[in-house]
A and B are shown apart, each in its own frame.
Chain A
Amino acid sequence: MAGAVEGALRDRRDAGGKALVVYVTGGLGDDWTDTVRAVADAGADVIEIGIPFSDPVMDGPTIQAANDRALASGATPTSILTQVSGLDAGVPLAVMTYYNIPFRAGLERFAAALADAGVSGCILPDLPLEETGPWVAAADEAGIETILLAAPTASDERLSRVCARSRGFVYGVGLLGVTGVRAELAASASIIATRLKQLTDLPVLIGVGVGTPGQAVEASAAGDGVVVGSAVVQGMLEDAGPTGVGDLVAQFRVALDAA
């Protein structure tokens, strides 16, 4: 049975639309939960809540800065999940963090904590396919959808194994590099989307380097939608507030709906 993340993204696709997943750094500012609600109201289909980690190797300067600021203000996995459990955003939530966070907590305990907080999915960018075993056992048991990343460097054979093990959606990495806004969308974004669409019926979303509404439209042409992170987090860092961030997300939604 499909989970809430997959369900929401399939609904969008079945209705002929393109999906929008938005990343928000948990614990960043006092009003970050209001930002999550504003993002949901602005038309995000699924929201990723980042649990900050001290050494985020897949993230560029924007999300690193957000991580550092959230950690410095005292955010912990526990405090963030406590706030998430009272969120009631109206859309499915997924957590994005690095493997040492669940590893330290205990995999089963962490998976259960996600479920208890009402989180449906989880993304661990430093946990590649071969190392997923213990985590997905715990996540599956708790009903958490583990969303795997699919990289442009992988062979089709590897991509098909990634797709087979992924739940919720397949997160196509749009370029060779870390998260962050680029001036132009990399050519690799459309290529990985096309390759993945030939391998899976799961929703295929492209993220990493998708920073403007125009890039979102371009990146979702071959796939089912996009993940937008740094552009939104930049707004949070610049104190755009829930309203400002919501307005930004609405621009992505409008552009995708018009495409």
Chain B
Amino acid sequence: MGLSDPTPEGRFGDFGGRYVPETLVPACQELEAAFREAWADQGYRERLDGLLADYAGRPSPMTECENLSGELGCRLLLKREDLNHTGSHKINNVLGQALLAQRMGKTRLVAETGAGQHGVATATAAALLGMECCVYMGEVDIVRQELNVFRMRLLGAEVRTAMSGSRTLKDAINEAMRDWVATVGESHYCLGSVMGPHPYPWMVRRFHEVLGREAREQSEAILGGVPDVVTACVGGGSNAIGIFSGFMDADTELVGVEPAGGAAVGRGIPGVVHGSQSFLMQDEFGQVLEAESISAGLDYPGVGPEHSHLAAIGRARYENVTDAEVVEAFRLLSRTEGIIPALEPAHALAWVFRDRVALAGRSVVLNLSGRGDKDVAQMMDVLGGGEGS
């Protein structure tokens, strides 16, 4: 058994909903209807499953960390979403949405991106399906993720700079929503996480449930049962909700790990931004605060509404780690297992490392949601070129 569906209003407990300008309400309703219809259609599902297998490379493997487990004292398994085409779990959602958009007669995909992983995945799907693609990215992120900007352009996408506010992911979402308000007839907003107005948090989760199902089967095959702990990093929270979905009925502890500078669940209070009600970092007047994280992909002051719900009912718990801990985890996995992780899943590993005493002797499945290629240049600046010499 997985996660339950939201209410018809798109609520997970108190969280979620559809807080968008009137102009976008019919588009959200149309999208919800099209998704329900497609999801029930065998032809659509077969096409999606085919692309996930033959184009994206699913199923992704699960790797037991022989070396690092010894160092940590727990049994650590990695769900290898880093090995997917385009380098992260983002492709699962993007292929589902791009096929859906095409089915709805849309010719253009609009997306936001933080670290660039979702932007690259969207540009990839657009190239594959012959659609136009426009990706909004904050000016700050464009500088720190230069390589992904080039990738998106190489794939034929237009990358537009979000210059407002903190010039990071939050502002890229604002710009993407403004674009969608103006182009709703021909454009589909290919949102990259389990956030935004209904049906996005639910639909995007459904597209990522595939990784949770795989992880459940693989961990049972390796461990002979379910793991004691499943952990994943949380920005908006799509990779985390994907892997959590495979273990909802199990006696498995679910731990989301946020950056200390963007700990919406850990330090936020309920608010409404970007289409849904959820935990949000904000000031006493309701102004959204700027997140601060070494990882562009987690540099977001909000979180998907289903995570707020899981936290509120106590089914999942949320920890947060500092940038310094993340850098150490990034080096640790590279050195011990020969796997360079993206900075985002390095957050989850940083928590495992910090709590290794409490985790001693237990089995832990960690969703390695992306690979570190995109972060190597940034880490070279942080660590200096002498690392490893």
Using CB atoms and an 8 Å cutoff, list the residues of chain A in contact with chain B: 53-58, 60, 64, 68, 71, 76-78, 99-105, 125-131, 148-155, 158, 162, 173, 176-178
Contacts and interface: CB of A to CB of B under 8 A. Distances in A.
Interface string B287-316: 110000000000000000000000000000
Given A57-B274, A152-B23, 17 more contacts: A58-B181, A68-B165, A100-B271, A100-B282, A100-B288, A105-B285, A105-B286, A128-B19, A128-B21, A128-B22, A149-B23, A153-B27, A154-B22, A158-B26, A176-B23, A176-B185, A178-B182
Interface in B160-206: 164-165, 170-171, 174, 177-178, 181-185
A198 to B, nearest CB: 18
11 contacts: A55-B274, A57-B21, A71-B287, A76-B285, A101-B285, A103-B286, A105-B285, A125-B21, A127-B19, A158-B25, A176-B23
Interface in B35-68: none
B14 to A, nearest CB: 11
A78 B287 CA distance: 13
B25 A128 contact: yes
Contacts of A130: 9, 18, 25
Interface string B138-179: 000000000000000000000000001100001100100110
Contact of B184 (A68, A100, A176): A176
A151 B273 CA distance: 20
B183 A176 contact: yes
B22 A55 contact: no
Which of A100, A125, A176, A178 has the most CB atoms of chain B within a 10 A radius of its CB?
Answer: A100
Contacts of A78: 285
A126 B271 contact: no
Contacts of A101: 285-286
Contact of B178 (A60, A127, A158): A60
Contacts of A55: 165, 170-171, 174, 273-274, 288
Interface string B342-378: 0000000000000000000000000000000000000
B17 interface: yes
B104 interface: no
B25 A151 contact: yes
A148 B22 contact: yes
Interface residues of B, number: 37
A43 to B, nearest CB: 28
Given A103-B286, A131-B17, A155 B25 contact: no
Given A53-B286, A64-B164, A176 B182 contact: yes
A152 B24 CA distance: 10
Q: Which 3 A-B pairs have the closest CB atoms?
A: A104-B286, A177-B182, A151-B23
Given A131-B18, A178-B181, A100 B25 contact: no
B274 to A, nearest CB: 7
B260 interface: no
Contacts of A77: 285-286
B272 interface: yes
A76 B285 CA distance: 7
Contact of A99 (B164, B174, B185, B272): B272
Nearest to A150: B22
B177 to A, nearest CB: 5
Given A55-B174, A103-B271, A130-B9, A173 B285 contact: no
A129 B25 contact: yes
Given A104-B285, A153-B27, A176-B185, A128 B20 contact: yes
A104 B277 CA distance: 11
A58 B273 CA distance: 12
Contacts of A149: 21-23
A45 to B, nearest CB: 23
A101 B282 CA distance: 10
A99 B271 CA distance: 9
Contact of A54 (B17, B181, B287): B287
Interface string B204-225: 0000000000000000000000
A100 B181 contact: no
A53 B274 CA distance: 13
B187 to A, nearest CB: 10
A128 B27 CA distance: 13
Given A54-B288, A104-B271, A126 B183 contact: no
Given A99-B272, A104-B282, A128-B25, A153 B184 contact: yes
Which of A57, A76, A155, A162: most chain B CB closer than 10 A?
Answer: A57
Contacts of A177: 178, 181-182
B288 to A, nearest CB: 4
A132 to B, nearest CB: 10
- Residue among A55, A56, A101, A154 with the highest chain B CB neighbour number at 10 A: A55
Contacts of A128: 18-22, 24-25
A148 B174 CA distance: 21
A84 to B, nearest CB: 15
Contacts of B165: 54-55, 68
Contacts of A176: 23, 181-185
